[in-house]
Amino acid sequence: MSTLFQRFDCEEALPRLYQFIDAELAIHELEAMRDHLDGCDNCAYEHEVRSKLKRIIREACLEVAPPSLRDKVVGRLAQLRAASAEAA
Ligand SMILES: [Zn+2]
């Protein structure tokens, strides 16, 4: 039995996603997140969407985006999400 390796369930993993994306987690939490994302399609998908959104917003901010852009991005992601939920 090992206590070195922590495991997250979805309830523990999801609130940490942004910190994970920003590399703000402690090492043992990083490991647990990677492990969870490897085995959990739902959280892996959330991770992908949120890191994409973050990148898009960051790039958009560099170019001084119109205020409507974020709404557009969020709307598009919601569409993608609905589509992928239907496909699943
Ligand atoms: Zn999960």
Assess contact for 7 and 32: CB atoms under 8 A.
Answer: yes
The reply to whether 31 falls in a domain is: yes
Domain ranges, residue 25: 10-87
Confidence of residue 84 (pLDDT cuts 50, 70, 90): confident
The reply to whether 67 falls in a domain is: yes
Distance 45 CA to ligand 1 centre (A): 9
The reply to whether 75 falls in a domain is: yes
The reply to whether 54 falls in a domain is: yes
What's the structural domain count of the chain? 1
In whole angstroms, give the CA distance from residue 78 to residue 57.
15
Given the structure tokens 């939920």, which residue do they identify?
85
pLDDT at 24: 93
Joined tokens for residue 52: 């994409």
Distance 6 CA to ligand 1 centre (A): 14
Joined tokens for residue 40: 């959990």
Distance 43 CA to ligand 1 centre (A): 4
Distance 25 CA to ligand 1 centre (A): 17
The reply to whether 38 falls in a domain is: yes
Distance 50 CA to ligand 1 centre (A): 14
Residues lining ion ligand 1 (Cβ < 5 A) are 10, 40, 43
| Tens of pLDDT, residues 21-62 | 998 999 999 999 999 999 999 999 999 999 999 988 888 877
